[in-house]
Amino acid sequence: MAVDRLYSLLERLGNLLRTEERAAGLRHGLQPVHLQALRYLQSCNRYSNTPAALTEYLGLTKGTVSQTLLLLEEKGLLRKEADTEDRRVVHLHLTDAGRTVLKEAIPPALFKQALAGLPGGGEALEEALTGLLRGVQAANAQRSFGACSTCKHFRREGPGRFRCGMTQEPLSREDSVLLCREHEAVPPGH
Amino acid sequence: MAVDRLYSLLERLGNLLRTEERAAGLRHGLQPVHLQALRYLQSCNRYSNTPAALTEYLGLTKGTVSQTLLLLEEKGLLRKEADTEDRRVVHLHLTDAGRTVLKEAIPPALFKQALAGLPGGGEALEEALTGLLRGVQAANAQRSFGACSTCKHFRREGPGRFRCGMTQEPLSREDSVLLCREHEAVPPGH
DNA sequence: CGCATTTAGTATCGAGTCGATACTAATTCG
DNA sequence: CGAATTAGTATCGACTCGATACTAAATGCG
């Protein structure tokens, strides 16, 4: 049955990818999940750099993520900052050391190589996976973490000038490509 | 960059899948890797039901897999059998209890649901993922674990009668769909 | 043949993940 | 104002995983 084959494929690719990542993080003393957390923090926007958002992104429990963050903070790869509005909330920022580690440890060389042999540079694959992820998230009542500019709250106000229709805050061109926790896809037919 | 997005997608899907699997195995006291091992043993052929083959399939070290197998044996989900030819080799067989657990714990309900919403039933996705896996394996000097009937050593001898050109053993129709450790893809253009 | 090498597998150890449970503090809701 | 919710932390135990070291069987090479 096709579903079972697909399941196996994704599972195996996930395993191999994690094994790769384990090796990549080894000389920094980092586990796969640590690199994943750092990468998320690198690519999320200022509404989404919190433990809660990361928890949902990774699909783990908040206790588990709290531990992970503790370790990354001890290693000096990230820094915590209290929110000024809501004093329960903590914002996570990569330190220079964190960014350096990411640059060194992330390039999935083996993976890039495999991708190069794919027809069309993997465009079709990306599209299909995006759809699948969306489906899994919908079935799981999870957030999508899409890029800001693809959100239904995204407003264009001029060349390089944007605004979030939800928070009313202005957004730069750089902001617009970051992942947002509050992201909601534009409904089909727009 | 497209490679980075693809990497993230696969990583996230892998995470969510593992979280699902963790929940599924919970009431049997099984971890994701245990279910993966059982599933492999269910779908591999008689040349490939060994610790070494499983080790390569999962991409772990042989020590780690040895431990996993010990646990599964203690739980009565599989049974070890010495090879009669090569006395170093052990063959792994699912017990009835093992098969029962698989039937109960595997159905990735959430996943099937997500897949149903995919255009074309995921045919395109399966093809693309297969290609990617092949690429990763090639880059890693790993075996492919394809179905027997798609191997270059597979010989048709009549309706429902086949033979492995490597071991010269006859193969049944059931054999021909199982995963083989010695699998080698038919070179393109055949 | 006979000794080195390779291969299959196991044993043991320590670092670390992860979920579960229980907790605090701040916010929101009625 | 008080109850419920939300963000986050602390602690614990079961378990994974790689590293290292080991045994036993098979193979290869002089």
Q: What is the CATH number of the domain that holds A38?
A: 1.10.10.10
Q: What is the CATH number of the domain that holds A185?
A: 2.20.70
Is there contact between B51 and strand C, defined as CB under 7 Å from any strand atom? yes
* B99 in the same domain as B18: yes
A35 occurs within a structural domain:
yes
Q: Min CA distance, B116 vs chain A (Å)?
A: 9
Give me B187's structure tokens: 């070179």
The predicted pLDDT at position B75 comes to 92
Give me B12's structure tokens: 């996230």
Q: How far in angstroms lies nucleotide D26's C1' from the CA of residue B87?
A: 9
Q: Determine contact, residues A151/A186, Cβ cutoff 8 Å.
A: yes
Question: What is Dmax (Cα atoms) for chain B?
Answer: 53
Average pLDDT over residues B90-110: 86
The predicted pLDDT at position A122 comes to 72
- Cβ contacts of B114 on chain A, cutoff 8 Å: 132, 134-136, 138-139
B160 occurs within a structural domain:
yes
Residue B137: C-alpha distances to residues A17, B5, B57, B58, B90 (Å): 11, 20, 10, 12, 25
* A169 in the same domain as A88: no
Distance between CA atoms of A148 and B18, rounded to whole angstroms? 27
* B14 in the same domain as B98: yes
Q: Do A129 and B57 touch (CB under 8 A)?
A: no
Q: pLDDT-derived band of residue A36, with 50, 70 and 90 as boundaries? A: very high
Give residue-wise pLDDT tens across range B10-53: 888 888 888 888 888 887 889 999 999 999 999 999 989 999 99
The predicted pLDDT at position A190 comes to 54
Interface test with A, best of B1, B132, B177 (most A CBs within 10 A): B132
Give backbone dihedrals phi and psi of A54, rounded to 5 degrees, phi first: -60, -40
A126 occurs within a structural domain:
no
pLDDT at B121 over 70: no
Distance between CA atoms of B34 and B76, rounded to whole angstroms? 13
Q: How far in angstroms lies nucleotide C4's C1' from the CA of residue B186?
A: 38
The predicted pLDDT at position B184 comes to 84
Last residue of a domain, one of B86, B110, B134: B110
Q: Determine contact, residues B131/A114, Cβ cutoff 8 Å.
A: no
Give residue-wise pLDDT tens across range B145-189: 888 998 888 999 988 889 988 888 899 999 999 999 888 887 765
Which of chain A's residues 88-147 bind strand D, using a 7 Å CB cutoff? 88-90
Is there contact between A62 and strand D, defined as CB under 7 Å from any strand atom? yes
Classify residue A184 as exposed, middle or buried by CB count within 10 Å of its CB (0-12, 13-18, 19+): middle
A134 occurs within a structural domain:
no
* A150 in the same domain as A92: no
B70 occurs within a structural domain:
yes
Give me B35's structure tokens: 């279910």
* B80 in the same domain as B24: yes
* A145 in the same domain as A104: no
Give residue-wise pLDDT tens across range B50-97: 999 999 999 999 999 999 999 999 999 999 999 999 999 999 999 999
Give me B39's structure tokens: 């599933």
* Domain carrying residue A177: 141-190
* A9 in the same domain as A58: yes
pLDDT at B190 over 60: no
* B157 in the same domain as B77: no
Domain count across chain A = 2
Q: Which residue in this structure is represented by tokens 């000024």?
A: A84
Q: How far in angstroms lies nucleotide C23's C1' from the CA of residue A53?
A: 21
Instruction: Give, for A90, the enclosing helix (H) or strand (E).
Output: strand A90-94
pLDDT at A81 over 60: yes
Of A81, A48, A52, A78, nearest to A66 by C-alpha is: A52
Distance between CA atoms of A29 and A40, rounded to whole angstroms? 19
Residue B90: C-alpha distances to residues B80, B86, B121, B129 (Å): 6, 9, 39, 32
The predicted pLDDT at position A114 comes to 76
* B149 in the same domain as B106: no
* B97 in the same domain as B160: no
Is there contact between B64 and strand D, defined as CB under 7 Å from any strand atom? yes
Q: Do A15 and B115 touch (CB under 8 A)?
A: no
* A81 in the same domain as A147: no
Q: Min CA distance, A165 vs chain B (Å)?
A: 26
Last residue of a domain, one of A89, A110, A131: A110
Q: Min CA distance, B33 vs chain A (Å)?
A: 10
The predicted pLDDT at position B98 comes to 93
Last residue of a domain, one of A110, A131, A151: A110
Centroid of chain to Cα A113: 22
* A98 in the same domain as A157: no
